[in-house]
């Protein structure tokens, strides 16, 4: 006759064999990424600025920095603080190591796409309804081969 503690031990051993990490969507897919308190963010930043790290949401390595630009992965996102959303345009200076199509999304709405190779500048107008008052704006950059980012942000034309 088995003792009750043996049943407990066997059930604990069987439970430890299950891989629970793959049962749920990544945290980025479960919740919107509103980021930190937007009061600590800026509407524009340069990679040379020490405060640029707080703008990284995902896909950007804090270590991959050459003093002027920072390497970003195939899917990356940045956070910005927008005080007045009227009449803004998004502006970015980037470098593409290979010819590729780059897509920019602001809070899940496509801002634009372009074919890029080498150094390039991207600008696109935004609409006020793209921004949620009091929350960080999330800008996603999609590129098959990754990029290097010099500066990015929202400016008044």
Residue 43 lies in a domain: yes
Residue 13 lies in a domain: no
Residue 22 lies in a domain: no
Residue 17 lies in a domain: no
Domain with residue 144: its CATH number is 2.60.120.260
C-alpha dihedral (18, 19, 20, 21), degrees to nearest 10 = 170
pLDDT at 62: 78
Q: Give the residue ranges of DSSP H helices in the chain.
A: 4-16, 27-30
What total number of domains does the chain contain? 1
Where in the sequence is the domain holding 69, given as residue range(s)? 35-155
Residue 15 lies in a domain: no
Calculate what percentage of the chain has a pLDDT beyond 90. 52
The distance from CA 17 to its chain's CA centroid, rounded to whole angstroms, is 34
User: Model pTM greater than 0.85?
Assistant: no
Residue 60 lies in a domain: yes
**Digit-coded pLDDT (tens) for 96-139:** 999 999 999 999 999 999 999 999 999 999 999 999 888 899 99
* Residues 105/95, Cβ–Cβ less than 8 Å: no
């Amino acid at each position: 006759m088995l003792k009750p503690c043996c049943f407990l031990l066997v059930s604990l051993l069987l439970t430890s064999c299950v891989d629970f990490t793959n049962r749920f969507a990544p945290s980025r897919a479960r919740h919107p990424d509103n980021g930190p308190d937007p009061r600590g963010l800026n509407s524009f930043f340069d990679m040379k600025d020490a405060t640029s790290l707080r703008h990284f949401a995902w896909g950007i390595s804090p270590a991959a920095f050459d003093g002027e630009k920072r390497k970003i992965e195939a899917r990356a996102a940045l956070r910005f603080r927008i005080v007045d959303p009227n009449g803004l345009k998004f502006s970015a200076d980037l470098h593409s190591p290979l010819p590729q199509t780059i897509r920019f999304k602001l809070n899940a709405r496509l801002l634009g796409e372009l074919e890029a190779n080498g150094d390039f500048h991207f600008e696109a107008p935004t609409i006020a309804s793209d921004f949620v008052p009091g929350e960080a704006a999330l800008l996603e950059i999609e590129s098959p081969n990754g990029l290097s980012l010099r500066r990015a942000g929202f400016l008044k034309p």
